Structure 1
Amino acid sequence: MIRHLVLFKLHEGIAKDDPRALAAAEGFVGLDKEIPVLLEWQTGWNFSPRDVAYDYAINSLVADEDALKAYATHPAHVAAAQRMLEIATLVVADFEV
């Protein structure tokens, strides 16, 4: 199993309540219903006030590297990620569990 973690940091001047941020986050809602290889799927806005904190997080689980590739290239994921990357940067961690 592979845990796939993604953290997004909004660009300077874009707040969590910005319509662009809200629309980008909405793009990730329900992806587990569209992408069968996702075994677990959690998303949400970070509430930590720390300066080092990222703004939005995705926590997912897939069976193996083939499933991770299928998820990464799925059109629904690609569209959601592109929307978020217009307003944020990201960091990713993939590890076996």
Structure 2
Amino acid sequence: MIRHIVCFRFRPGVTWADPRAEAAERISRDHPRHIPEILSWTVGRNATPREAAHDFAVVGQFADRAALQRYQTHPDHQRGVRAWSELSTWVVVDLDDTEGALLAGEAR
């Protein structure tokens, strides 16, 4: 399994009051309705005022790297990329849970 984590930070001057932010959020929330490769999907706005915090995050789960690649090239995902590009920067981590499970098994 691949766990895909993306944290978005608004560009200076952008807030949730910006209609583009709500549109980008809506696109991200709706990805599972359009992209069959998504096995699980959690999205949400940041709930803390910490300086290091980002404004929005998505956590998705995919069967394997091939499924993640199909998601990344899917037109609905590309629509989200365009929407978020206008108002934020982001960081991505793709965790291979299979490798983590193997390491946990070795520790026993």
- What corresponds to 1:16 in structure 2? 16
Percent identity, aligned pairs only, is 39
The alpha carbon displacement at 1:17 in A equals 2.3
C-alpha distance in 1 between matches for 2:61 and 2:24: 21
- Greater than 6 Å deviation, 4+ residue runs: none
Q: Which has the larger radius of gyration?
A: 2
Aligned-partner SS, 1:27: helix
The alpha carbon displacement at 1:23 in A equals 1.1
- What corresponds to 2:70 in structure 1? 70
Structure 2 stretches lacking a partner, 5+ long: 98-108
**Aligned alpha-carbon RMSD (Å):** 0.8
Task: State the TM-score, normalizing by the size of structure 2.
Answer: 0.87
Aligned residues: 97
The one-letter code of the counterpart of 2:28 is: F
- What corresponds to 1:56 in structure 2? 56
Question: If each structure's helix is expressed as a fraction of its own residues, which one has the higher value?
Answer: 2
Aligned-partner SS, 1:53: coil
- What corresponds to 1:80 in structure 2? 80
Aligned-partner SS, 1:28: helix
The alpha carbon displacement at 1:29 in A equals 1.8
- What corresponds to 2:89 in structure 1? 89
Structure 1 stretches lacking a partner, 5+ long: none
C-alpha distance in 1 between matches for 2:29 and 2:4: 16
